[in-house]
Amino acid sequence: MQAIVETVFDAVYLITVITLGIIMIRKNNGRRQYWLFGIMAVVLGLGDSFHLVPRALALCTTGLENYTIALGIGKLITSITMTIFYILLYYVWRNRYRITGKNGLTAVVYLLSALRILLCLFPQNGWLRANPPLTWGIYRNIPFALFGLLIIILFYQETKKQNDTAFRYMWLTIVLSFGFYIPVVLWAEVIPMIGMLMIPKTCAYVWTVLIGYRAMRSEI
């Protein structure tokens, strides 16, 4: 039952975000922020597919233990593409609110992103092992969480300042995604049921993409 429900949920998620992303890329009418948003959605969907597709195959066939390497490589790719996702979201913020300058802020964004990706590439992460070390799961997510916090603050401040009703909940979607993700990183290996939090985390990302898509539909 878990295999069927989880596989259907993941398939709907991937098809939804990739389809919405392609629509935004093709029909943004020259609005760069929505072109960026479309790229962002496609990166999100394709990146997650490297982990979710092997997981679906594992659940529907011989079990997760027989797909350790594929799942590990998928998690590594997803970790990197999620970082790229937030870099693109930063540029959506800059473009939507016509932010200029702030080179120091951009430098911080790239520093945290580079640190996150670099930490993901260390062999100590044990991506290809059935039980990777928790400590490295924490290490690589520290700069990621700081990056996410920065994006939350930026969107919260600017939507309030400009009374941007279309994007008013963007900051909340990111809060929810990290709020559901962090317990999984910390405790899913000890309490497997906590892994179910990945479902509302995924829904938060769909909400993020829908915010961009609906804003594009209303503005164009």
Convert the pLDDT of each residue in 31-47 to its tens digit. 999 999 999 999 999 99
Centre a 10 Å sphere on the Cβ of residue 90 and count the other Cβ atoms it contains. 23
pLDDT for residue 28: 94
What does the pLDDT read at residue 114?
A: 98
- Per-residue pLDDT at 190 exceeds 80: no
Q: Which pLDDT tens digit goes with each residue over 96-130?
A: 999 999 999 999 999 999 999 999 999 999 999 98
193 secondary structure, DSSP code: G
Give the integer Cα–Cα distance in Å for 42 and 40: 6
Separation of first and last alpha carbons in the chain: 43
H/E segment holding residue 93: helix 68-96
Can you read off the two tokens belonging to residue 80? Answer: 């990197």
**H or E stretch including 206?**
helix 198-219
When pLDDT is cut at 50, 70 and 90, the band that residue 187 belongs to is confident
Mean pLDDT score, 185-205: 87
Residue 1 has pLDDT above 90, yes or no: no
DSSP H or E stretch at residue 156? helix 134-162
Cα 147 to Cα 69: distance, rounded to the nearest angstrom: 28
